[in-house]
Amino acid sequence: MNRDAWMREAIELALRGRGDVEPNPRVGALAIEGSRIVGRGWHRHWGGAHAEIDALADARQRGARPDTIVITMEPCSTPLGVKEKKTPACTAAIVEAGIKRVIVGAADPDPRHRGAGFAVLEDAGIEVADGVLAPQCRAINHPFERWLGLDRPWTIAKYAMTLDGKTAAPTGESRWISGLPARRKVHELRTLVDAVAIGFRTARADDPELTVRHVEGPQPLRIVVDPWAEIDVESKLVRLAPEVPLLVMAHEEADPVRVTRLRDLGVEVEFVKGAGTGRRLHLLDGWRALRRRGVRRMMVEGGGALIAQLLGWDCIDQVLAFVAPKMIGGQFAPSPVAGEGRPFMAEAWRFSEMTWSACGEDLAIVAFRADP
């Protein structure tokens, strides 16, 4: 097998992480002994092992001693921060494994790190061949390149809907549209994001906890976008605040009495300037503030008004939609995206790289925001 064939297989491996790793890059790797593939790996999910580490671990399990590694992207040269823990850089793992040759597709597109991994490997006496199928390797990482230009968290809009596009019955009742496997996947995703957010109407209608259940994992910051700080102090969200952090994003002119009451109950309130009239907040400013406090990846779980506003601020990067094999009908039943919408089809918010998979009886659809 030649270098191009190896790289094509590594690209196929990289794409297995699509939908789970973003905004991290999609990367695939092969560990080679002689001319034989002895290990395969890819970046499987946000916060997980990088592809090189995965491939070398696969080779070790097989009792192999690879001398070459094929990677779709330049390996990282700085320790990795995963939920405030540090793991060694991939270049260090490659050197420690005794690799003699590294074949790379594309350089790291992040200008802060581009070329640094190559330099570390070459200084260690390892032969580096880069640029193998570089255009194809770069093409699979449009979301990562989008992320590099953002000053706010990568934001995933998650919702469940029926076949006729409804997120609740006309009465507002919505439990449960999706089945248990889909709900379990949402809880897994909660463990892999820094924050989960909902709008104040969803908080009022569903009285959710927004905690991690069904699976083991860390609890993300819970956020309610609530311009006038109207959240019920007896809600599950507020009652859990002393144990599970809750942030309310409120208008700077919200009632100080309500704000003080929430803070007394252990809720953090962050003021966001208004945008226009009524209940609208300048959500881009709010999202930038979240990034400054360390929120890099977050999930918005509704409702339709909040998702619509975030689309208007160009703050939705990825969609995860669960489609249940049900129809409920109703002219006034809500849909995933509310608001005024776009006046013409030509002005629709566009998404790309749409993929789908079965999740129990439901269909899980993933798509990524296309550049305007």
**How many beta carbons lie within 10 A of that of residue 211, not counting itself?**
16
pLDDT digits (tens, 9 = 90+) for 285-338: 999 999 999 999 999 998 899 999 999 999 999 999 999 999 999 988 999 999
**5 Rama class: left (phi>0) / alpha (psi -120 to 50) / beta:** alpha
* pTM across the whole model: 0.92
Which are the catalytic amino acids?
52
pLDDT band at 82 (very low <50, low <70, confident <90, very high): very low
Chain-wide mean pLDDT for the chain? 93
pLDDT band at 87 (very low <50, low <70, confident <90, very high): low
Cα dihedral 326, 328, 329, 332 in deg (nearest 10): -130
Q: How far is CA 332 from CA 151, 165, 203, 343, in A?
A: 37, 12, 20, 20
Question: What is the H or E stretch that residue 235 is in?
Answer: none
Say what the pLDDT of residue 83 is: 43
Say what the pLDDT of residue 10 is: 97
pLDDT digits (tens, 9 = 90+) for 237-290: 999 999 999 999 999 999 999 999 999 999 999 999 998 777 789 999 999 999
pLDDT digits (tens, 9 = 90+) for 108-120: 998 888 999 999 9
Say what the pLDDT of residue 372 is: 63
- Arithmetic mean of pLDDT, 183-210: 94
pLDDT band at 86 (very low <50, low <70, confident <90, very high): low
Cα separation, 176 vs 156, in Å, equals: 21
The residue type at 111 = P
Lay out the sheet containing 221-225: strands in order across. 268-272, 246-251, 221-225, 195-199, 297-300, 154-162, 318-324, 362-369, 351-359
pLDDT digits (tens, 9 = 90+) for 147-194: 999 999 999 999 999 999 999 989 887 888 999 999 999 999 999 999
Say what the pLDDT of residue 1 is: 63
